């Protein structure tokens, strides 16, 4: 009976033990599906209207700074971005929720495109979620910031892998638009700016005043039974 009680405790937990309910993750899958859907419509079905979503630096429409983050040059470009989008998007959504994930994706992706548009030549065309991916990477690191040496080592190892693979995939799209200047320069700008904008977003949100939940509970009127 003693061993049965131990097994029961291990499997079911102790009586009265309250576990934090897991957050349901949906937002990252919708973003992935949207990226996949636009890619299929663009590259498989060849819908002409999809290319109007690209960011054309010579005369961009305002919405292209956002819509181009859901467009990709080829399958390698898309698959690499979706892989890291799932990892870091899921981390952000688990910590902050679906709305924060969508806000982070759009804010960092569009911000990276704005910086690229300001810096790059006017014959450039920008597509891809790389800026948003680097933004989500920065945000996921900051929201889980810890001085635990294992966490720091994990971030360093994963970080260099992210930079290497996303750069490689983005450079594979060089031939799509026939740009006359090295595309890796474009990627450096978009990736770095996406990460910095992610840091800025976390800093701005950290400055937003919010009352602790305990204060709200203690200050609310209680009904007597």
What string of pLDDT tens digits covers the 225 residues of the chain?
443 443 344 344 444 444 445 567 799 999 999 999 999 999 999 998 999 999 999 999 999 999 999 999 889 889 989 998 998 999 899 888 999 999 999 999 999 999 889 988 888 888 999 899 989 988 888 876 666 667 667 666 766 666 666 555 555 443 334 443 333 334 466 767 787 888 888 888 777 665 443 444 344 444 444
Per domain, the residue ranges of the chain are: 27-205
Give the CATH superfamily of 27-205. Rhomboid-like (1.20.1540.10)
Terminal-residue alpha carbon distance, the chain: 42
Active site residue 220: no
The CA-atom distances, in angstroms, between 210 and each of 129, 185, 206, 219 are 31, 40, 9, 15
CA-closest candidate to residue 57, choices 123, 108, 111, 112: 123
The catalytically annotated residue of 77, 126, 191, 193 is: 191
Active site residue 130: yes
Question: Rounded to whole angstroms, how far apart are CA atoms 128 and 110?
Answer: 11
- CB hemisphere CA count around 183 (13 angstroms): 21
One-letter-per-residue 3-state SS of 63-118: CHHHHHHHCCCCHHHHHHHHHHHHHHHHHHHHHHCHHHHHHHHHHHHHHHHHHHHH
Question: Rounded to whole angstroms, how far apart are CA atoms 225 and 222?
Answer: 10
The catalytically annotated residue of 80, 116, 130, 140 is: 130
């Amino acid at each position: 009976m003693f061993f049965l009680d131990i097994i029961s405790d291990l499997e079911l937990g102790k009586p009265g033990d309250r576990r934090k309910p897991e957050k349901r993750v949906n937002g990252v899958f919708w973003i992935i599906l949207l990226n996949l859907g636009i890619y299929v419509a663009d590259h498989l079905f060849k819908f002409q209207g999809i290319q109007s979503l690209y960011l054309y630096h010579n005369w961009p429409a305002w919405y292209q700074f956002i819509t181009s983050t859901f467009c990709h040059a080829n399958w390698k470009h898309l698959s690499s971005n979706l892989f890291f989008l799932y990892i870091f998007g899921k981390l952000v959504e688990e910590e902050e929720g679906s709305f924060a994930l969508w806000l982070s994706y759009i804010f960092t992706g569009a911000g990276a495109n704005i910086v690229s548009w300001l810096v790059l030549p006017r014959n450039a065309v920008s597509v891809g979620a790389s800026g948003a991916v680097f933004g989500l990477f920065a945000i996921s690191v900051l929201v889980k910031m810890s001085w635990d040496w294992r966490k720091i080592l994990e971030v360093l190892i994963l970080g260099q892998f992210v930079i290497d693979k996303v750069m490689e995939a983005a450079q594979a799209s060089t031939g799509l638009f026939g740009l006359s200047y090295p595309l890796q320069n474009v990627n450096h700008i978009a990736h770095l700016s996406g990460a910095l904008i992610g840091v800025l977003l976390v800093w701005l949100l950290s400055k937003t005043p919010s009352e602790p939940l305990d204060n709200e509970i203690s200050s609310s009127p209680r009904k007597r039974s």
